[in-house]
Chains A and B, each alone.
Chain A
């Protein structure tokens, strides 16, 4: 079942993703760094919920 995300949570997730995309942009395409970025995103979004 798909989890319902509040508008506030969705805005937080989008802002965080944009922030991490900027900080990791030089390393885009490096599998280890892409994976680290994804783990941080999931951790922070989960923590906020």
Chain B
């Protein structure tokens, strides 16, 4: 066993102060779009990403958007917040750490889960923006392990392969902690909104909370995304679905197959929007 202590997370670099400032500004009741636009303009990567998204066919605005302020007004504060957060985390975790072992595959799974989450959210009437962000970031703990604790990450993969067990079981046995707890703690340290912290911590065992369906939605989207991943040649076991969660969401399970094409098309669109090169 090579345990990871939650205190080890204190040694990880913090998110850029500019990003924290944007998230803080967007979370205020009285949102100052001009102020937010100013903060965004100080981050070249985020500026490029916001403009690319605002001008993408995905949103289909008729006129070309050339200023960050206009983009913020058109996209709205929730989308800007989601983009700022996801962009910051992707940049942060792809530009730091000693190894990129499997981190690309983990991001691909995050994007796949985000795409499935958006399609399911439309079906059952949940906010698509929140579904996107939570889907993208749900495995934050695994990405952090791969990037910042590569030896620990490799040890869990070895255990998983040798014992043919689920990821969580391997992590608890080898590290004494699983990626859900690790990811939730880091998300709290980085001051992510509470609903995202909760999804990261509970996506494998969501509470049956009728007031907040997001953890349940991500639980199901994660499983579908694993199943649909065409690059997996059959060595990663699919985690089990909680039947109560499916009932609570009111999903027509037998109709899911009819949504696979839309899920994959959404995944391709998101991959283009969020690609890390050139930002």
Q: Indicate with 1 or 0, residue by residue over A8-34, a CB within 8 angstroms of chain B CB atoms.
A: 000000000011101111110010110
Docked complex Cα distance between A39 and B122 (Å): 20
Interface residues on B, range: 20 to 34
Q: Which residue of B lies closest to A27 (CB)?
A: B240
Name the contact of A23 in the complex, choosing from B237, B240, B241 (C-beta under 8 A). Answer: B237
Q: Are A24 and B238 in contact (CB under 8 A)?
A: yes
Q: How many residues of A contact B (CB 8 A)?
A: 20
Interface centre among B224, B230, B234, B243 (most CB of A within 10 A): B234
Q: Are B240 and A36 in contact (CB under 8 A)?
A: no
Docked complex Cα distance between A49 and B106 (Å): 29
Docked complex Cα distance between A26 and B160 (Å): 13
Q: Are A39 and B257 in contact (CB under 8 A)?
A: yes
Name the contact of B235 in the complex, choosing from A18, A22, A42 (C-beta under 8 A). Answer: A22
Docked complex Cα distance between A22 and B228 (Å): 14
Q: Are B227 and A22 in contact (CB under 8 A)?
A: no
Q: Which residues of B contact A32 (CB under 8 A)?
A: 241, 243, 246, 253
Docked complex Cα distance between A44 and B228 (Å): 9
Interface centre among A26, A35, A42 (most CB of B within 10 A): A26
Q: Which residues of A contact B256 (CB under 8 A)?
A: 36, 39
In the assembled complex, how far is the CB of residue A44 from the closest CB belonging to chain B, in whole angstroms? Answer: 7
Q: Are A23 and B234 in contact (CB under 8 A)?
A: yes
Q: Which residue of A lies closest to B227 (CB)?
A: A40
Q: Are A35 and B253 in contact (CB under 8 A)?
A: yes
**Given A35-B253, A36-B223, A39-B260, A44 and B238 touching (CB < 8 A)?**
no
Q: Which residues of B contact A18 (CB under 8 A)?
A: 234
What is B's interface to A at a CB cutoff of 8 Å? 166, 223-224, 226-228, 230, 232-238, 240-241, 243, 246, 253-254, 256-257, 260-261
